[in-house]
Amino acid sequence: MPRRVIKKEQQDPSPTPTPTSAHAPASIASHTMGPPSRKRLREDAIDAQSAAVSFIRSHAPSAETCRRGHDDDQEPMFLELRARPGGGPTGSPQSSQNADTSFAHQSFAHPTFTNIGVKLRELNNTVGSLQQLGVCYVAELPELVLVGDQSAGKSSLMSGLARVDLPRSAGVGTRCPLHIRLINSSNAHWSCTVALQLDYDFEPKGKIKKSDVTATNQFPPWVKKSHRDIKIFKTIFDPSEIEEVLRWAQVAILNPKNDHELYIPGDGAIAKGGDLSEATRVAAAQFSPNIISLEIKGPELPGLSFYDLPGVFLSPDQEEDEYIVKVVRNLTRHYIQRKGAIIMWALPMNADPENSISLGIIREAKASDRTIGIMTKADKLALENEAQWLAMFREEKQSVGHGFFATSRPPDKPLETAAKWEQLFFSREVDSWPAEFEEFKDRCGVELLGEYISTQLGKAFEQSLPSIKAKVYTRLDKIRNQLADLPEIPENVEHEVKKSLYQFLGRMKTAMKDSEFSSEWSSLNNQFRDIIMKIKPTCRVKEPAAQTIDLSDADTEVSTVTPSKRPRPSDSTMRPTPGKCPRQENEMPTTPVKQESFTAGSLFRASPAIGTGLAEMHSPFAGFRNLGRLAMDIQDIRTQVRKKQRPGMPRDLVPDEVREAMCLDAVKKWQGPLETYIDKTAELLERVTNQALEESIGVLRRRLIFRECQIHLKEFIDKIVASQRGRLADMYRSETYQMYVLNEDSFSRYKAQELDQLRRARAIYRLKAVALIQWNYEIKNLADMSDDDRSREQKIFTQQLPKIGNDPYETEIEVAAFVRGYYLTAATRFVEGVTMNVNSHLFRIIGSTELDFFMDQQLGLGRAPLNVYEHLMEEDDKTASLREQLKSEIDKLSQAMTSINALECSPDGGSGSETILPASIIDLDDDMEEGF
């Protein structure tokens, strides 16, 4: 590991340099302008003393005492400070006999400056690292912010400071902020990493008006995020590529809803096939407060970082973009108001400084004392305005705390020659820089400006370092305590997850066999069977304007009206006139109704549990009870038959299509009960499986694994129920497609049974109509009648029916019996098929390994990394998110503390300690490779 060797101070007989060198470091001789104010003189003395002490502590060499070894193998440099007889270090740049090597006229990256600025570079590298880590929410960091009006020459100035050609036309600088970080790297190769620092979300809500821009909504339609997202855009190794990459990075940042990789030059689909100017024109946003960052590494670069903001302006090109004027001002104000910001105010010398919009914002924020005035475009200075700019140099007008610098980097000059040209310009060897400005020569040129701002940034950071460190440490300690208070995750988290899942899946397989579940499902099946049987179509057997006998599957309703033939007055069977007949014993005010069921041997006798009582009312199928009521009428049947008969057909010959249509109409009423049956089966299944989940891993109810299992279990149940629903729907469609009878014995038996019931009811009706049977004759269930009663009724039929002849509706009665017989045959098949299919398919899947595979897949446990198991053992989503957020913040703050501690331990750091700094910390940018 390379070490920096420090020799003790020795007496040096070299001549004492002139103490008021015009070419001294900016921290020492930055204000040698006249006439200086008393306050400025005092500040200069303090700055000089501070800088001198700082440089002595860092063992910075003079121009003559620098000893360099070979840089290629990173040999340590032996630095020596010599004490002059009068005290203080020797080796002022002015002692050099070669004017071309004068400190003020050397490149900012000249070895003399880089050696003197080792401490500054490390300070500024550290502050750049902290800025990129985004820890400014914990402690306010010193920062350089370049502001100015449009066309103020900021782009040329920025290119000079960054030592790379940046876009100078309308584009990058006008649409979003730019953060440039320069890092002196031991690597001989130049590189630049462009990244998008996303602090705001894009939430457009229609066309934006100027009134939408308020103090609380400064950058519509952008909304502040809770954290910063950093997306690497592209790393390049050729400075000539930087302009194109930056322009496409701007397009990406203005289209936040799209994947930023689409806009990467050379790789992204849009960047490959699109036109850059058109892509910029049609961008989703016209402006963004999100930042494009450039991390530039290279040999002999100063440790410097600064923000460049879009130029403020008065009016946009399009009236609809008026709001952007306010947005850009808000952005400028947002950065200027930061107490740690050192403002670099650019104002061109070919314009009137009194018209500067930026100066008004600076004064409004009371930031003038933190401002460095930078006069750009010095080569454009008009002779008649010299007095005005001289007054500003002398702090007589537009005074700012750090005074003014002048720069001149014409856009037509290549970067390689611009620095030399500027040096010659301010030395009055080219062009026409007025001699009156000679006294401010030490404040002219981008190189001297860069030296000054680097020094000021380093000093500000050094002064605030103890406070920053304390705040970062306090925040770090607080977050660690927060993390410690979160629910503990089991040590062997993978084992715990798998064990819990095994218990759950095992319990699921036994849940389907539990007696409680079997009992509930059996009850549901019985209710489904009963409702299907109950909605068997009933038949109205009355003739028009005659007595009515209404039949249902479980009862026979008999209602009477005035008979068609008036009985003799002496006939005991005569029905009295309504309202005048005396009520006889056991007589009801309306037609008597007697419950009638099937024969005792019937397979489809009404279930005692459902009947017409309380159990039936609470059945989930209660709403379907009357679906089959009066579904047929003998008169309607006759009408249908006659419509379908061909001419000349016998009246008692019924077309098959009539029978089939009526049978299919009867079974189509199953759709509602079937859907209810599926829904109730799904509810039962979901309830039982959730109970199994609770019993198996209920102790982990507060953990995400319980919630995840619950969610995915419902997904699985919904999936298999949907599949089962499709199967049963197919069964229903098969029943309603066409008539189908294979078990003809059952069909014949049911049809004969139904024909006997209908003929009996029809016979009673006909006998009452002609007063051959008492009008209040009560129809009883044959099973409930005694043998004598049945014999008596049969005797009446035998004696009386021949008297009234054949039934004119016998054919219609036979059709009704056919339909009811087919209904019972199909219903038997359907109910058994539905329930068996559910049992053999739906419940079988629950007990199979299909659920195991589904849960593994949904939980992501197939060769899952440890963090997947840790996530499942988190308390909940909010806790998991908070844990990840705290871990991320701890990582950032830990990196920040490492950078700060490394800086303090450095021989050139703030502590002045002799501790050797590890090589990995000396080049802080190497650690920041993964910081994005």
pLDDT in tens, 604-616: 333 333 344 555 6
Does residue 590 or residue 124 have the better pLDDT? 124
**Is the peptide bond between 221 and the residue preceding it cis, with omega within 30 degrees of 0?**
yes
* pLDDT of the residue at 273: 82
Q: Which residue has the tokens 């990789």?
A: 261
Does residue 430 or residue 823 have the better pLDDT? 823
Residue 82 confidence (pLDDT) above 90: no
The neighbouring-strand residues paired with 183 are 297
The dihedral formed by the CA atoms of 538, 542, 548 and 550, expressed in degrees to the nearest 10? -10
* pLDDT of the residue at 445: 93
pLDDT-derived band at 549, boundaries 50, 70, 90? very low
Are 739 and 664 in contact, with CB atoms under 8 Å apart?
yes
- The Cα–Cα gap between 24 and 37 comes to 20
* pLDDT of the residue at 54: 37
Residue 578 confidence (pLDDT) above 70: no
* pLDDT of the residue at 105: 34
Instruction: List, as one string, the DSSP characters of 7-41.
Output: PPPEE--SPPPPTT-TTS-HHHHTT--SSPPHHHH
Does residue 71 or residue 874 have the better pLDDT? 874
The dihedral formed by the CA atoms of 8, 11, 13 and 18, expressed in degrees to the nearest 10? 80
pLDDT-derived band at 406, boundaries 50, 70, 90? very high
User: Mean per-residue pLDDT for 451-459?
Assistant: 87
At 407 the three-state DSSP class reads coil
Residue 28 confidence (pLDDT) above 70: no
DSSP state of 778: P
pLDDT per position as a tens digit, 814-844: 999 999 999 999 999 999 999 999 999 988 8
User: Mean per-residue pLDDT for 686-699?
Assistant: 85
pTM (global) more than 0.85? no
* C-alpha radius of gyration, the chain, whole number: 49
Does residue 229 or residue 749 have the better pLDDT? 749
pLDDT-derived band at 26, boundaries 50, 70, 90? very low
Q: Which of 342-351, 449-458, 701-710 has the highest mean pLDDT?
A: 342-351
Residue 107 confidence (pLDDT) above 70: no
Instruction: Give the relative orientation of helices 850-859 and 493-511 as an angle to the nearest 10 degrees.
Output: 150
The proportion of the chain whose per-residue pLDDT surpasses 90, expressed as a percent, equals 35
Q: Domains in the chain, start-ordered, CATH in brackets?
A: 5-100 (no CATH), 125-475 (3.40.50.300), 509-858 (no CATH)
* pLDDT of the residue at 478: 83
- Around 535, how many Cα atoms within 13 Å sit in the side-chain half-sphere? 25
Whose CA is closest to 160, among 364, 362, 536, 420? 420
User: Mean per-residue pLDDT for 904-912?
Assistant: 56
Does residue 617 or residue 603 have the better pLDDT? 617
* pLDDT of the residue at 876: 64
Are 390 and 437 in contact, with CB atoms under 8 Å apart?
yes
**Is the peptide bond between 35 and the residue preceding it cis, with omega within 30 degrees of 0?**
yes
Q: Tell me the two tokens of residue 748.
A: 């014949």
* pLDDT of the residue at 348: 94
Q: How far is CA 321 from CA 210, 314, 317, 324, in A?
A: 8, 11, 8, 6
Q: Which of 106-120, 346-360, 416-430, 777-791 has the lowest mean pLDDT?
A: 106-120
Sheet holding 291-298, edge to edge: 222-236, 191-202, 291-298, 178-184, 304-308, 143-148, 341-348, 371-376, 404-406
User: Mean per-residue pLDDT for 403-419?
Assistant: 85
- The Cα–Cα gap between 270 and 264 comes to 8
Q: How far is CA 329 from CA 283, 337, 376, 718, in A?
A: 21, 12, 21, 55
- The Cα–Cα gap between 345 and 260 comes to 32
User: Mean per-residue pLDDT for 108-137?
Assistant: 57
Q: Which of 113-122, 246-255, 693-702 has the highest mean pLDDT?
A: 246-255
Whose CA is closest to 892, among 133, 140, 127? 133
HEC per residue, 252-319: HHCCCCCCHHHHCCCCCHHHHHCCHHHHHHCCCCCCCCCEEEEEEEECCCCCEEEEECCCECCCCCCH
Q: Which residues of 831-854 are buried (b: 16+ CB within 10 A; e: fewer)?
A: beebbeebeeebbebbeeeebeeb
Helix segments in 486-541, DSSP class H:
493-511, 515-534
Q: Which residue has the tokens 């004969």?
A: 752
pLDDT per position as a tens digit, 241-300: 998 999 999 999 999 999 999 999 999 999 988 888 899 889 999 899 999 999 998 887
Residue 49 confidence (pLDDT) above 50: no
Residue 662 confidence (pLDDT) above 80: yes
Residue 419 confidence (pLDDT) above 70: yes
Q: How far is CA 221 from CA 1, 241, 320, in A?
A: 52, 31, 14
Does residue 555 or residue 509 have the better pLDDT? 509
Q: Specify burial of residue 231 (Cβ count, 10 A radius: 0-12, 13-18, 19+).
A: middle
* pLDDT of the residue at 262: 94
Q: Which residue has the tokens 């009883």?
A: 780
pLDDT per position as a tens digit, 470-527: 878 888 888 888 877 766 666 667 777 888 888 888 888 888 778 888 889 999 999 9
Whose CA is closest to 433, among 462, 408, 470? 408
* pLDDT of the residue at 560: 33
Residue 37 confidence (pLDDT) above 70: no
Spatial CB neighbours of 729, under 8 Å, sequence gap ≥ 6: none
Residue 573 confidence (pLDDT) above 90: no
Does residue 739 or residue 884 have the better pLDDT? 739
User: Mean per-residue pLDDT for 462-470?
Assistant: 83
Q: Which of 70-74, 205-209, 373-377, 754-758 has the lowest mean pLDDT?
A: 70-74
* pLDDT of the residue at 588: 32
* Distinct helix (H) and strand (E) counts, the chain: 30, 18
Q: Which residue has the tokens 């008979």?
A: 563
Q: How far is CA 887 from CA 134, 486, 756, in A?
A: 15, 12, 83
Mean of all residue pLDDT scores within the chain = 75
* pLDDT of the residue at 8: 37
